[in-house]
Each structure stands twice: as structure tokens, then as C-alpha cells.
Amino acid sequence: MIICMTATKTKLSRSELLNIFTSGCKTEQRIGVEYERLPICTATKTAASYDENIYQMLRTFAKEDNWAYITDDDCNIVGLKKGHDAITLEPGAQFELNLMPEENICDLEARIKSFDNKLKPVLKKHGITLLNYGVSPVSTHKNINIIPKRRYHIMAKYLWGILSDVMMRETAGVQVCVDFKDEADAMQKISLANKMSPFVCAMFANSPIRGGVDTGYKSFRALSWLNTDNDRCGFAQINSFKDYVDKLLQTPMIYVSRDKNPRAINGKVNFKKFMSSGFEGLDAEFDDFLLHANLYFPEVRLRNYIEIRNHDCCSEDLVYSMLALYKGILYNKTALEDAQELLSVFKPADIDEFRYNVPRCAMDFTHKKYEVKEIAKELLLIAEKHLGDEAKYLDPIKSYTMEGICPADVILKNWYGGWNKDINNLISYAQKI
């Protein structure tokens, strides 16, 4: 899902910036997904290389299924687009599918399955396998090159945090995108999604094995985000669109683009300073703010929709469970109020305590008297009660959650059991197509 606004060259005002978010108010309530997967070489099980595998695969798929190129500097192919759908590459060539949102989960399911059926022979031709898994199982960031997209190279040099390279090059996640009717609705959904975030992260934790070894964490992907640039990651606690704009204005800038050429700023000014005083002869433009907003990574991000970000990539059936969980709670007034009441006992410090411990423990963490697994069960039951026919999509995650476990627990049981710590068994388990 992509923000589409018209750029302007006039001096920016806060009202223009606020319009990005007020323009997102909608009467319909659709749900969307940004679905990242890890590409590996089928023969070696190492991360697939942009130069050796991914570039030619994109060219082939574009030709066979009539997709247009997305390029960087009018040269390097960094993605494909068809209508409102897009295939984009993350910094380590992680493969992300962005689909036009739909009212019904079954429509997203049909489109993903159709897409995968078309993609499967092209992947096979180029020796690539996609994994539904949250972190690179064999290759680490030292052996994964950043794709030739100039913004990623600037980001890699700028982003601070001891695991920022892991986040950029090794991890794959799923983002759920929901609509809002007005500002009050947006704030209510963002507040609840922030409180739900550590519990849902625990439910879908799916990245315990990295570089061929047990990391001691059930979501190493979530751990990597905890250790990446706290200026732009974590929680965005807001009560209005204005609050969100103010947070963006105070956030250090990474770069701007002029004539398709990125120019590094590297945190020397925040956007508020850029608007008032410019930077090295450059004046702030509307597109600069859109770019800056896209480089802000809270766990729940506001665009002209709401993007909920903190989930490991997992099997396709669990992706639909994730969509159903949020749809069942956020799109039903009673369910939303029930979930708010359930989580009302937690102050921001409590949510932080869950957030910092869930990557390691997932469902097996208790804070004060509250068990993550029990809160997760209650959230699941609230969603199930209000989903109607789409409650069937909760069945895959229900089989884990009602047992108090997550996908990582099953992986670790197999890892120390029948798999005998053989990475090939994990890869076979995580293969999608």
C-alpha cells in the first residue's frame, strides 16, 4: 500500500502535512498486507544474491506476467508493479508482495495464491526458493550484500543500533494495513494496536534459528528491531494527527532526493529545522516529507492508513490468521472495546516490559501476574467472537495459541528432536513455493 499525493514546490505548511493523514479517512474498511519472504538459493541454501539470481528472476517474471519495472536511477530493477500491486525488494533482497487492500480476506487469499502459482515456475527456473521465516537461517548480514538501491546504502551507513545490519539484510516480516474512518477512529485503533503489539508478536514468533544455530530468542527479528535506531523505531504514542506530524518533524532526517539523486543528511537536521532553514541550499518540499515519513519505523505507523508492523514472516495460513485477528478486533466496535478493556490494566511501562521480553520468551513471559499466553488467548477469542464466517481463518493460529505456544516453539522442539539440528530440515519446513 503506497501513499499517493501530489507534490508541490511551494513552502511547506503544517496543514499540508496534516492533509496526508486526514485524506486517509474512509467510509470503507478494507484490510491489506505487506508480505515479505526470504529468498534462498535452492542448491546451496544460502541467501539468494541480487546480481546472481534476483535481478534475472524479476526480468523473467515481468516479461511472463506483464509487470512493469520499478527502477533506481533508471537502471537497476528494484521491484515490479502492476496496477495497484507491487513487488519490492528489501535491502537484503527480501521479497515483498504489496497487494491492493480488500474488504474480504478470501479475496486477498485468492490473489496471493494466484500470484504464487505464477511465480513458482519462474523461481524454479532461477534456482530460488522463498522461505516463510523471520530471519535468514544460514547466511548472516556479513554475507548478504545490499541491493543496488541507493537509499538503502545511505540507510545502512546511517542507521545506528547493534543489530541494524541484521534488521536490514536478514529479516522478513508481515505488515497488516487497516483503514480508519476519522481521526478519533485512527487514534483508537493505533492506541489499541500498540498495546496489542507485543502479544501478537509473541503469537506469531517464528525466527529462533539464525546462521544455523539456536539464538536463544524465539523472534530474533523482533530483537533486531529493538536494537535499531531508537530515534525512529519503537512506539509512537500519539493522540492526534498533529501529534504524529510533530513526531516526524522532530525525527532526524536520513536523506532527501533531488532529480532522482539521493543526498545524504545523516541526521544533521530534523524535518522541523529543514522546513524552517533548509539544508545546504535545499528547501523542504512535499515529497521530502513523504520520504521522511517512509523512513520512520514505529511498530504501528500512520500513513493514509494504519500499518501494524511487528510480526515475523510465517506460513501463509498464519498470515491469513494475522489478518483475521486484526480485522475481528479493529473493525468491530464491541470487539475493539472488549480488547481495550482487557489491556487497560497495562501502562506504557508495562507494554515496554512485554515488548523487551517477548523476543526472547514469546508466549512464556509473565509480567507481574499477567501471562502473555493468557492475554493472547483472550485477544484471539475476542476476534473469533466477532468475525462471522471469516473466523475460520483464525484456526491455524488457534492451534498454537490455545496451547500456549508459538511457531518458534514447534521449530525448537523439532530442532532438538527429529531434525537433529540439521538446517536442511528447517528450510524444508519453512519453504512456501
Q: What is the pLDDT of residues 374-392, one digit of tens each?
A: 999 999 999 999 999 999 9
Q: What is the mean pLDDT of residues 250-262?
A: 93
β-bridge pairing 297-298 and 233-234? parallel
pLDDT at 239: 96
- Domain coordinates in residue numbering, the chain: 14-430
User: Phi and psi for 298 in degrees, rounded to 5?
Assistant: -70, 165
What integer is the mean pLDDT of 276-289?
94
Residue type, 373: K
Phi, psi of 63 (to 5 degrees): -70, -45
What totals of helices (H) and strands (E) does the chain contain, helices first? 17, 17
User: Does the structure show a pLDDT above 60 at 23?
Assistant: yes
d(CA 178, CA 322): 12
What does CATH list as the number for 14-430? 3.30.590.20
Q: What is the DSSP string of 81-139?
A: EETTEEEEE-TT--EEEE---BSSHHHHHHHHHHHHHHHHHHHHHTTEEEE--SB-SS-
Residue 243 pLDDT > 60: yes
> Which of 109, 151, 133, 128 lies closest to 52, judged by CA?
128
Q: What is the pTM of this model?
A: 0.95
Q: What are phi and psi of 325, to 5 degrees?
A: -60, -50
All cell numbers assigned to 214: 539456536
pLDDT digits (tens, 9 = 90+) for 90-102: 999 999 999 999 9
Whether the per-residue pLDDT at 157 is higher than 60: the answer is yes
Residue 7 has pLDDT above 60, yes or no: no
**What are the CA-CA distances from residue 384 to residues 55, 58, 190, 363, 377 (Å)?**
42, 39, 21, 19, 10
Residue 49: pLDDT band (50, 70, 90) is very high
Please, which pLDDT band fits residue 249 given cuts at 50, 70 and 90?
Answer: very high
- Rounded to an integer, the average pLDDT of 11-32 is 93
The pLDDT value given to residue 75 = 84
- Asked if 142 contacts 210 with a C-beta cutoff of 8 angstroms, the reply is no
Q: Which residue has the cell 541494524?
A: 164
- Reported as a single tens digit per residue, the pLDDT across 325-351 is 999 999 999 999 999 999 999 999 999
The DSSP output letter for 181 is S
Structure-block grid coordinates of residue 36: 515479505
